[in-house]
């Protein structure tokens, strides 16, 4: 049987009993924003319910890419993290305000710090996943893991473009 993702038919034969998710080793990586979704956080601890951007990043590893979803809460206590994200992809300039434009983030690239986290699955077994610990600003020099197929293509992001936002675009 071919080794690619596909839809199953109702009567297809299945065999695979466990997922083959392999987290990336901890380190600094290049990423591309592949998807942004609007969501709502229910609140936790000191944070009240608030808007949330579910940002899917394709993180480029040495041997394989991994999609990591980062929930960015749109709350004043986490404004620094929002700024960190937009600085990383070159949409925000240092010490200047930015009107967030989430759709424009799709396709942009930046650098981030990836960590591993252990968790308990519903069946009681332990699994591992990746988290984003930090977004590096566009002008920070970071020694990122270089994918073998793209080593010559990766460069530091350039300075951010002008702060442009179209009302109602998201």
Residue 66 in any domain: the answer is: yes
Q: Would 9 be classed as within a structural domain?
A: no
Neighbours of 117 (CB within 10 A): 12
Whether 81 maps to a domain, the answer reads: yes
Give the Cα separation of 112 and 115 in Å (integer). 10
Is 167 a domain residue?
Answer: no
How many domains, the chain? Answer: 1
pLDDT tens digits, 11-35: 888 877 666 678 999 999 999 999 9
Residue at 89 is within a domain: yes
Residue 42 lies in a domain: yes
Please give the structure tokens belonging to residue 170.
Answer: 């998201």
What's the pTM value of the predicted model, to 2 decimals?
A: 0.77
11 in any annotated domain: no
Residue 164 scores a pLDDT above 80 = no
Supply φ then ψ for residue 104, to 5 degrees.
-70, -15
In a domain, 31, yes or no: yes
Q: Which domain holds residue 33?
A: 27-150
The CA distance from 89 to 105, in Å, is 7
Give tens-digit pLDDT for 57-87: 999 999 999 999 999 999 999 999 999 999 9
């Amino acid at each position: 049987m071919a080794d690619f993702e596909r839809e199953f038919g109702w009567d297809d034969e299945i065999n695979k009993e466990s997922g083959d998710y392999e987290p990336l080793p901890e380190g600094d990586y290049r990423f591309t924003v592949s998807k942004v979704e609007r969501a709502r956080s229910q609140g936790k601890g000191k944070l009240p319910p608030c808007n949330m951007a579910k940002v899917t990043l394709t993180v480029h590893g040495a041997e394989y890419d991994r999609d990591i979803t980062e929930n960015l809460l749109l709350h004043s206590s986490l404004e620094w993290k929002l700024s960190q994200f937009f600085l990383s992809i070159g949409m925000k300039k240092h010490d200047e305000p930015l009107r967030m434009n989430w759709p424009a983030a799709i396709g942009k690239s930046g650098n981030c710090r990836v960590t591993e986290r252990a968790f308990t699955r519903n069946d009681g077994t332990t699994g591992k996943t990746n988290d984003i610990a930090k977004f590096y600003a566009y002008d920070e020099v970071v020694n990122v893991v270089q994918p073998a197929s793209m080593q010559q293509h990766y460069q530091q992001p350039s300075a951010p473009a002008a702060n442009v936002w179209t009302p109602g675009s998201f």
